[in-house]
Amino acid sequence: MTDRFKAILISRDEEKRQSVAVTELTEADLMEGDVTVAVEASTVNYKDGLAITGKSPVVRRFPLVPGIDFAGTVLSSSHPDWKAGDKVILNGWGTGETHHGAYAGRSRVKGDWLVPLPAGMSVFDAMSVGTAGYTAMLSVMALERHGITPDRGPIVVTGAAGGVGSVAIAILSKLGYHVIASTGRVSEEAYLKELGAAEIIPRDELSGPAKPLAKERWAGGVDAVGSHTLANVLSMTSYGGAIAACGLAQGMDLPTSVAPFILRGVSLLGIDSVMAPKALRLEAWKRIGTDLDHAKLSAISTRIGFDGIIDAAKAIIDGRIRGRVVIDMADAK
């Protein structure tokens, strides 16, 4: 392994104009941390797309290597939990935002940010899940803690053909829930049903201005869209139900009223994957190992090489990505 490795670097000039380039770095260029990892696989999340395209101020220091997820092998460690040769996963913790992220041949991070690769999963399996799938699992766990069991009624999943939505459908269906998938891509009906969706509804049913209360349609949901879509989902949630909110593809606003909360006792459950405590992360990845049909990972994911990252980032923002994009980082070594 040579000392130099490839990386994508986001920079900004004095006029705050952002640029993205492929460059070479050495370990001396890496940031502070007690574990150095050879990055073997990564993925392209919606947040990564926002970072690379500059559509949203995800990156908060410059220059920075983007990429919020990786899986790989520990090269060196002064952290008590990790030793050279360990297989590890990183999700979030500010990587790709304030700390050099995954789109480089190596990464130096804090050992407390890492979790072990689950037994029986490859690094590519783990990145087929990635932050999107780990967020989906956190959402399911939150619904369960709120008592939203399969016998309570259907669960709606918005942004169903995206990364969070795809994994959420696969998990929920395996757990016995009746899943209603909302998507703007009706051509993906066969894909969504293969993942386990029982019903498909068009995005248009939920994307316009919401009534304070509408007909009750589901007991709970996983929403990765926000804005009017989340407002509609809340207005259609049955008495005592709950919605796990984990994304903002339509927008950060929430144009709703208090009616679902005070007239139907609906709960809005906020899901944060970036700074979630380690115990919760470990539980989520353990559950991913048991409650996600790993045979469906091949249907959910598409694999690309390092040189395809920038184009994939643009495609995910344009809504042209189905499921998960897994990056084989071999060319970055």
pLDDT per residue over 184-237, tens digit each? Answer: 988 899 999 999 999 999 999 999 999 999 999 999 999 999 999 999 999 999
pTM over 0.85: yes
The pLDDT-based confidence of 3 (bands split at 50, 70, 90) is confident
pLDDT digits (tens, 9 = 90+) for 248-285: 999 999 999 999 999 999 999 999 999 999 999 999 99
189 three-class SS: helix
pLDDT of residue 2: 55
CA atoms within 13 A on the CB side of 18: 19
Which among 72, 193, 158, 163 has a CA at the least distance from the CA of 122? Answer: 72
CATH code for residues 5-117+297-332: 3.90.180.10
SS3 content of the chain, % helix, strand, coil (to 5): 35, 30, 35
326 three-class SS: strand
pLDDT digits (tens, 9 = 90+) for 68-77: 999 999 999 9
Task: Tell the CATH superfamily of the 131-270 domain.
Answer: NAD(P)-binding Rossmann-like Domain (3.40.50.720)
Question: Does residue 291 surpass a pLDDT of 60?
Answer: yes
> In the block, which residue shows the tokens 């809504």?
319
pLDDT of residue 1: 46
Q: Identify each DSSP E strand in the chain by its residue range.
A: 5-12, 18-25, 35-43, 69-77, 87-91, 106-109, 114-116, 155-157, 179-183, 199-202, 218-223, 237-245, 267-270, 301-305, 324-328
Measured between alpha carbons, how far is residue 50 from residues 22, 33, 96, 227, 329 in Å?
17, 26, 11, 18, 21
Q: How distant is the alpha carbon of residue 156 from its chain centre?
A: 18
pLDDT of residue 259: 98
pLDDT digits (tens, 9 = 90+) for 315-324: 999 989 988 9
Integer Cα distance of 276 and 130 in angstroms: 14
Spell out the domain ranges in the chain.
5-117+297-332, 131-270
pLDDT digits (tens, 9 = 90+) for 120-177: 899 999 999 999 999 999 999 999 999 999 999 999 999 999 999 999 999 999 999 9
Q: What are phi and psi of 180, to 5 degrees?
A: -105, 120
pLDDT of residue 98: 97
Q: Which three-class secondary structure string do you get for 95-150?
A: ECCCECCCCECEEEECHHHEEECCCCCCHHHHHHHHHHHHHHHHHHHHHHHCCCCH
